[in-house]
């Protein structure tokens, strides 16, 4: 009887112990990455404590980012400096901050617009030469916070720049196409309407290198 | 007659620019920087696969032929690329994303480091920048043509490496028109950039990290909140 009771107690203790989970705080690199970035241990694919690898923040240990960096080039909208800039002006344009650009370059842009298209009056978005070159000389790319982002898709106008946008045709149309977009039919398109490689719908979107 | 002469005059000027080797596009850039490592080839901004995100693409060193020229093209660690975001339509940057290459001492791999998007002090805007080292958002090993690397951190996604050049344009024919050698484009045209590569940085950012745009900044989209964005290439002094 006494033995049986001891067996019973022993069995009870053992089965109770089975239900006690020991919290293993020492992961030994066995946890998956997305729970380890804040555990104070270098584990998973981290290259430092809670940093590095594909999932955690970058490690900055040992890296030097000091110094002053001075502008040499910039870009907002496609081909603006190329098409509307002229020799002697292009270099200055690259080191002019956008808020100073209109005062510095709008008049030059308007002169160059009339050199490209002496018959320019207005274009398909209703801008005369001064208004058009004013928009262009403030060389920032507009991108919408909401909705479709495209240079032009037939409906949206200048709400971004997607990889598939034919920005050349848009630009040529606005320069040469006149008010209805039908003037100068051999100048309003370069008849290259798409990229040679197909883009991906997922990050990083651009096609693999040849 | 007059038009041809004028085109020829422009053509002469343009040819003078082009005779300096490489193109950028903005792909065809100004003489002082054309072909250098601060030469920006292209810039894109568009909504991501996740519509809560925006994607920025900065391309440098375009017209890379496949093979050795692509394999040997490298980002310059003395060049800071900076994506500028104007929230309030005053054409002055309110936030920046700063991007620069370093060799990661932990892995001995060339990597691209991304800082921000972070607010810029009004005294810090413009042509000169220091890197905001307190706001490192992420990094990614620089890819090759065969080793494709991406990384994710803080809701952002990062890529840096060679990509097929997404730009398409019959640039050869455009020059002939400017020269007065011909009066219009061919149909069909020939993509002068087909078959070429470019060094590309792609960063996808939650819009929530960019702040708000301004409604009416784009008069052609009068009810849409719009950011003004641009990219700068800055050389270490």
DSSP A40-58: SS--TT-SBTTB-TTTSPP
Helices (H), chain B: 2-18, 68-72, 171-179
Cβ-nearest to B183 among A143, A149, A186 = A186
- Sheet of B151-153: strand order equals B40-47, B53-64, B197-206, B156-164, B151-153
pLDDT higher than 50, residue A29? no
Calculate mean pLDDT across residues B136-164.
Answer: 96
pLDDT at B124: 87
Three-state DSSP class for residue B61: strand
Q: Which residue has the higher pLDDT, A42 or A103?
A: A103
CA atoms A156, A161, A164, A169: torsion sign: positive
pLDDT higher than 50, residue A20? no
In angstroms and rounded to an integer, the radius of gyration of the C-alpha atoms of chain B is: 20
In whole angstroms, how far apart are CA A1 and each of A4, A9, A12, B25, B56?
A: 5, 12, 16, 95, 80
pLDDT tens-digit map of B4-54: 444 434 433 333 333 222 233 467 666 666 678 899 999 999 999 999 999
Cβ-nearest to A91 among B31, B191, B197 = B31
pLDDT higher than 90, residue A165? yes
Bridge partners of B136?
B115
pLDDT at A19: 46
Rounded Cα distance between B122 and B133, Å, is 18
> How far from each other are the two terminal CA atoms of chain B, in whole angstroms?
49
Three-state DSSP class for residue B186: coil
How far B121 CA lies from chain A's nearest CA (Å)? Answer: 15
Residue A102 CB contacts under 8 Å (≥ 6 apart), including other chains: A134, A137, A138
pLDDT higher than 80, residue B206? yes
In the A/B pair of chains, how many CB contacts fall below 8 A?
343
Domain ranges of chain B: 42-176+188-235
Calculate mean pLDDT across residues A120-136.
Answer: 96
Using a CB-CB distance cutoff of 8 angstroms, which residues of chain B are in contact with residue A74? 40, 230-233
Judged by CB atoms closer than 8 Å, whether chains meet at B159 and A203 is answered as: yes
pLDDT at A15: 53
Q: H or E segment at B47?
A: strand B40-47
How far A143 CA lies from chain B's nearest CA (Å)? Answer: 5
Three-state DSSP class for residue A34: helix
Q: Which residues of A46-80 are buried (b: 16+ CB within 10 A; e: fewer)?
A: bbbebbbbbbbbbbbeebebeeebbbbbbbbbbbb
Rounded Cα distance between A158 and B181, Å, is 32
pLDDT at A9: 56
Rounded Cα distance between B185 and B142, Å, is 39
Report the Cα A57 to chain-centroid distance in Å: 19
Res. A33 pLDDT band, cuts 50 70 90: very low
Using a CB-CB distance cutoff of 8 angstroms, which residues of chain A are in contact with residue B57? 163, 205-206
The chain A residue lying nearest B150, using CA atoms, is A54
Half-sphere exposure for B220 (CA within 13 Å, toward CB): 21
> Angle at Cα A112 formed by Cα A106 and Cα A117, nearest 5°?
125
Rounded Cα distance between A181 and B3, Å, is 21
Calculate mean pLDDT across residues A37-43.
Answer: 74
pLDDT tens-digit map of A48-84: 667 777 777 666 778 999 999 999 999 999 988 878 8
pLDDT at B25: 46
pLDDT tens-digit map of A137-156: 999 999 999 999 999 998 99
**With the CA atoms of A114, A118, A122 and A128 taken in that order, what torsion angle do they form, in degrees rounded to the nearest 10?**
30
Asked whether the beta carbons of B221 and A155 are under 8 A apart, the reply is no
Calculate mean pLDDT across residues A172-186.
Answer: 96
Helices and strands in chain A, H and E counts: 6, 2
Q: What is the DSSP letter of B135?
A: G
Q: What is the DSSP letter of B38?
A: T
Judged by CB atoms closer than 8 Å, whether chains meet at A192 and B169 is answered as: yes
The model's pTM: 0.84
pLDDT tens-digit map of A108-124: 999 999 999 999 999 99
Query: Average model confidence (pLDDT) for chain B?
Result: 88
Bridge partners of B129?
A69
pLDDT higher than 80, residue B129? yes
The predicted complex's ipTM stands at 0.88
């Amino acid at each position: 009887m006494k033995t049986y009771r001891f067996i019973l107690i022993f069995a009870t203790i053992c089965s109770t112990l089975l239900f006690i989970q020991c919290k293993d705080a020492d992961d030994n690199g066995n946890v998956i990455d997305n729970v380890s970035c804040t555990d104070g241990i270098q584990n998973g694919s981290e290259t430092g404590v809670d940093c590095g690898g594909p999932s955690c923040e970058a490690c900055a240990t040992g890296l030097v980012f000091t110094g002053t960096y001075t502008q040499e080039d910039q870009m907002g909208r496609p081909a603006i400096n190329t098409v509307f800039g002229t020799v002697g002006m292009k270099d200055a344009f690259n080191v002019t901050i956008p808020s100073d650009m209109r005062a510095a370059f709008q008049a030059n842009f308007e002169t160059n617009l009339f050199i490209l298209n002496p018959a320019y009056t207005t274009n398909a978005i209703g801008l005369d030469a001064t208004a058009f070159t004013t928009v262009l000389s403030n060389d920032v790319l507009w991108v919408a916070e909401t909705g479709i982002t495209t240079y032009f898709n037939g409906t949206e106008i200048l709400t971004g720049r997607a990889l598939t946008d034919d920005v050349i045709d848009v630009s040529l149309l606005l320069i040469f196409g006149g008010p209805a977009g039908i003037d100068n039919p051999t100048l309003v398109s370069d008849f290259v309407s798409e990229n040679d490689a197909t883009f991906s719908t997922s990050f990083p979107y651009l096609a693999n290198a040849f | 007659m007059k038009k041809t002469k004028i085109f020829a005059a422009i053509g002469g000027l343009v040819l003078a620019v082009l005779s300096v080797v490489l193109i950028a596009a903005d792909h065809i850039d100004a003489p002082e920087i054309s072909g250098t490592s601060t030469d920006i080839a292209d810039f894109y901004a568009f909504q991501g696969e996740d519509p809560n995100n925006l994607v920025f693409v900065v391309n440098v060193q375009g017209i890379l032929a496949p093979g050795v020229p692509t394999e040997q093209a490298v980002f310059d660690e003395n060049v800071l690329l900076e994506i500028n975001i104007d929230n309030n339509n005053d054409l002055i940057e309110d936030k920046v994303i700063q991007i620069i290459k370093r060799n990661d001492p932990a892995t001995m791999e060339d990597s691209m480091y991304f800082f921000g998007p972070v607010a810029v002090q009004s005294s810090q805007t413009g042509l000169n920048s220091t890197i905001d080292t307190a706001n490192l958002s992420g990094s990614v090993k620089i890819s090759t043509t065969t080793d494709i690397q991406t990384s994710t951190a803080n809701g952002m996604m990062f890529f840096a490496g060679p990509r097929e050049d997404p730009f398409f344009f019959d640039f050869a024919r455009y020059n002939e028109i400017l020269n007065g050698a011909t009066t219009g484009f061919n149909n069909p045209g020939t993509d002068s950039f087909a078959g070429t590569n470019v060094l590309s940085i792609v960063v996808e950012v939650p819009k929530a990290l960019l702040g708000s745009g301004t409604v009416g900044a784009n008069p052609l989209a009068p009810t849409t909140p719009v950011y003004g964005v641009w990219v700068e290439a800055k050389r270490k002094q």
